[in-house]
């Protein structure tokens, strides 16, 4: 296996601690007659790593081939980046190197571990190559990753040679890209010593826009702006503001489920991370995706100045915002920053030369969102309609008048008329019907 891996060119940067490299060393040492007990311990350690990765990502059937597919899907090199943006050029010289590497992976896909198993007196490789995963709840792994890996793995396993694998892999890169952005739809960020790390959110809420009731006008405006963005047309940053529990955050989350297949990705950041915005933009500006940076429940108190980072990124800094990035924010406040009557008295009391400069400074952030969408609380009649529709979706059988009376009683005790209150009430009714 070491001799096979040594022929890799574009995909050669696997990392010294990668599973492939470690297993290749084990095969080499088995062929050289190394200590069986020590080699078996090393083998078990790598098999555990394969099982851990497979559990986290929902792999099944042939875990060895799934791991190889994972390497092809996540490797960052000049070829994968080019294919993500433009696809494989028909006469590109780099294709020769890529086909060479895919021929290597074709050999690895069908590698015979029987000699290693006989030497170590184990059947662990046969087991992972004919694996039956225990059914798991979807929230314990990333369904998108699992589906993509299994689908591509089956196609690659059926390929007759490296040339056919090259075609399958380049088609994948052109359609989805590579790395974490190819296989996941939503992310958070974490600052590491080596730079930013994008952390996939594996249990993304599966809500879709049609699931939201009572905000048709707001959804239409949000959809229009997002579809223009995905089509490469001019689109605006969006501020969704209004009453609590009216569907602002849920509307934004639904977008990534609606448009994931068209290349939409979401990065959720928090107020304390605004200083990282420039680094985030630098990481994603050359990727072949459309990113929505999502800021939930955005507001600032009088003494907070983080909004200045956001103002510079949205509009006004020397570096322009990349064309593949928009910012969508939700807030209960229309103007985002807490205002006081003292803001209107800055000339008299705080020494400003011009009246209300402090107030204008605070209002300027909200003005930089080109689209503002107001989410208002439903009327009592609209609230009843939402409750009725949600109850019907969940199969709750109850007289309409009785449902209305109980919904009104619930609303009085649980925060007023809103879609969230209606959803919580229906969940309560479902719990009553549970055995």
Angle of CA points 71, 72, 74, to nearest 5°: 65
Residue 353, pLDDT score: 45
What pairs with residue 60 in β-bridges? none
Closest CA to 240 of 356, 366, 364, 407: 366
Q: Which residue has the tokens 């990765």?
A: 53
> What are the average pLDDT values for consecutive 10-residue runs of the chain, which has 435 residues?
92 91 95 94 96 90 96 93 83 88 96 95 95 71 81 96 95 90 91 85 83 89 96 92 87 93 93 87 91 87 68 65 90 64 50 49 70 89 88 86 88 83 88 68
List CB contacts of 328: < 8 A, sequence separation 6 or more. Answer: 237, 238, 240, 252, 255, 292, 293, 294, 295
8-state DSSP, 344: G
Rounded to whole angstroms, the Cα distance separating 239 from 336 reads 10
401-428 burial, b if ≥16 CB within 10 A, otherwise e? Answer: eebbeebeebbeeeeebbbbbbbebbee
Indicate the pairing of strand 238-242 with strand 264-268.
Answer: unpaired
Residue 8, pLDDT score: 95
244-267 burial, b if ≥16 CB within 10 A, otherwise e? Answer: ebbbbbbbbbbbbbbbbeebbbbb
Residue 324, pLDDT score: 93
Please answer whether residues 27 and 116 qualify as being in contact, where contact means their C-beta atoms are separated by less than 8 angstroms. Answer: yes
Residue 86, pLDDT score: 81
- Is the model's pTM score more than 0.85? no
The strand ranges marked E within 305-364 are 325-331
What are the φ/ψ torsions at residue 411 (nearest 5 degrees)? -60, -40
Residue 379, pLDDT score: 86
Q: Which residue has the tokens 């939700």?
A: 330
């Amino acid at each position: 296996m070491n001799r096979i891996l040594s022929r890799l060119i574009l995909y050669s940067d696997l990392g010294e601690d990668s599973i492939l490299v470690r297993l290749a060393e084990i095969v080499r040492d088995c062929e050289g007659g190394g200590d069986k007990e020590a080699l078996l311990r090393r083998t078990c350690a790598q098999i555990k790593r394969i099982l851990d990765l497979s559990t986290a990502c929902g792999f099944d059937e042939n875990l060895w081939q799934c791991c190889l597919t994972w390497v092809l899907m996540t490797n960052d090199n000049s070829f994968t980046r080019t294919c993500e943006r433009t696809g494989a050029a028909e006469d590109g010289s780099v294709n020769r190197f890529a086909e060479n590497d895919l021929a290597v992976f074709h050999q690895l896909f069908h590698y015979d571990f029987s000699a290693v198993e006989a030497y170590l007196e184990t059947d662990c490789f046969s087991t992972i190559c004919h694996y039956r995963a225990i059914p798991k709840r979807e929230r314990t792994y990333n369904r998108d990753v699992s589906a993509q890996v299994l689908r591509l793995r089956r196609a690659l396993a059926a390929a007759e040679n490296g040339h056919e694998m090259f075609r399958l892999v380049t088609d994948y890169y052109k359609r989805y890209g590579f790395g974490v952005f190819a296989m996941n739809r939503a992310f958070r960020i974490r600052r590491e010593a080596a730079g930013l790390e994008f952390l996939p959110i594996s249990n993304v809420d599966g809500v879709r826009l049609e699931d939201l009731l009572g905000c048709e006008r707001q959804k239409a405006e949000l959809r229009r702006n997002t579809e223009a963005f995905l089509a490469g047309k001019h689109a605006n940053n969006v501020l969704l503001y209004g009453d609590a529990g009216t569907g602002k955050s849920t509307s934004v989350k639904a977008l990534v489920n609606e448009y994931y297949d068209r290349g939409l990705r979401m990065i959720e950041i928090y107020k304390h991370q605004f200083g990282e915005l420039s680094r985030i933009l630098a990481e994603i500006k050359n990727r072949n995706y459309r990113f929505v940076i999502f800021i939930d429940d955005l507001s600032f108190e009088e003494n907070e100045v983080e909004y200045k980072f956001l103002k510079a990124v949205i509009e006004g800094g020397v570096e322009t915002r990349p064309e593949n990035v928009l910012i969508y924010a939700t807030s209960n406040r229309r103007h985002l920053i807490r205002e006081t009557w003292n803001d209107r008295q800055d000339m008299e009391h705080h020494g400003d030369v011009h009246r209300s400069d402090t107030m204008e400074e605070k209002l300027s952030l909200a003005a930089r969102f080109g689209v503002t969408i107001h989410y208002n609380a439903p009327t009592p009649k609209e609230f009843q309609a939402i409750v009725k529709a949600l109850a019907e979706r969940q199969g709750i059988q109850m007289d309409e008048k009785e449902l209305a009376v109980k919904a009104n009683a619930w609303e009085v005790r649980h925060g007023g008329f809103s879609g969230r209150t209606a959803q919580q009430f229906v969940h309560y009714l479902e719990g009553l019907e549970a055995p």
